Amino acid sequence: MQHIAVIGAGTMGNGIAHVFAQNGHKVNLIDLSEDSLSNGLATITKNLDRMLAKEKITESEKTSTLKNISTFTVLKEGVANVDLVVEAASENLTVKLSIFKELDAICPKNTILATNTSSISITQIAAATNRPQKVIGMHFMNPVPIMQLVEIIRGYSTSNETTEEIMKLSTELGKTPTEVNDYPGFVANRILMPMINEAIETLYNGVAGVSEIDTVMKLGMAHPMGPLQLADFIGLDVCLSILNVMYDGFKNPKYAPCPLLVNMVMAKKLGVKSGEGFYDYAESRKAEKVSDQFS
């Protein structure tokens, strides 16, 4: 498992590429956009510089990590002769099914196909291929270079051999892999997203304001970040997408997204990525409450 392809150079993709490259793997980072690839490499470089400043890595380790990464805009070229593909593209079922169908056609037969999806069925993605036994979920947490957990999700047909290989590989990356079965939201988001949604409902119902809700959860429950601030960092569009997947999958009204969340996403108030969500990030990186219309 020495040669890895990562599809998507965004926040998750460049973080996954960073971790593999830092651990000695040759990484092909693939994205349709040259700008996205440039931004992804810039982010990796900046994160390595932070680690260097904190004396967590040496200058030579930084250099070797960057040398381990090659970039591609053509999928077929980027996945040729790789041992593992990790897809970290849009959290959109149609997009993922298209990518995996193409990967199955062009990748070597022994290549394991993994997805970083945070909620979409591994079984459904695997069904788009002729190698369902070699399709698996590798749900890394953000920020990937720092967070310890990798949620390893077995699809209905994922083989024991594939699962064992990915568990072993994740451990070699310095992560803690945790095996779960394939149900909407898996474990992490099945528990996290209803909590975030309930925090938004609490705001929507006027029980308390943004900072008050987050303060209660940080100080009262020992959470490092309040649920509304965490939602901003995840991306409110991503939160909405995951809740919709769980609502569709379970047909249980407890997973129905709060109307406030739906409206904020329609208004393109997506959190950190858009500069404004429950907090305002446009003027300062410090979290500030948005206008009273959301409280």
Binding-site residues from annotation for NAD(+): 8-13, 31, 91, 96, 118, 142, 273
23 counts as catalytic: no
Asked if residues 286 and 264 have their Cβ atoms less than 8 Å apart, the reply is: no
Three-state DSSP state, 286: coil
Radius of gyration from C-alpha coordinates of the chain:
19
To 10 degrees, what angle do helices 188-204 and 227-234 make? 120
Q: Which residue out of 116, 151, 274, 276 is catalytically annotated?
A: 151
Q: Determine phi and psi for 98, rounding to 5 degrees.
A: -65, -45
Residue 258 CB burial class (10 angstroms; 0-12, 13-18, ≥19): buried
205 counts as catalytic: no
Cβ-Cβ contacts under 8 Å for 46 (sequence gap 6 or more): none
Q: Which residue out of 14, 47, 68, 118 is catalytically annotated?
A: 118
Q: What is the DSSP string of 118-141?
A: SSS-HHHHHTTSS-GGGEEEEEEP
Q: Determine phi and psi for 27, rounding to 5 degrees.
A: -120, 130
Tokens for 93?
A: 């079922």
Q: Which residue out of 25, 139, 170, 241 is catalytically annotated?
A: 139
**Strand 69-72 to 135-140 pairing:** unpaired
118 counts as catalytic: yes
Q: Which residue out of 36, 121, 189, 197 is catalytically annotated?
A: 189
Q: Binding site residues, as ranges? A: 8-13, 31, 91, 96, 118, 142, 273
Please tell me the distance from the alpha carbon of residue 295 to that of residue 39, in angstroms, as a whole number.
Answer: 35
Please tell me the distance from the alpha carbon of residue 105 to that of residue 108, in angstroms, as a whole number.
Answer: 8
Q: Which residues are catalytic?
A: 118, 139, 151, 189
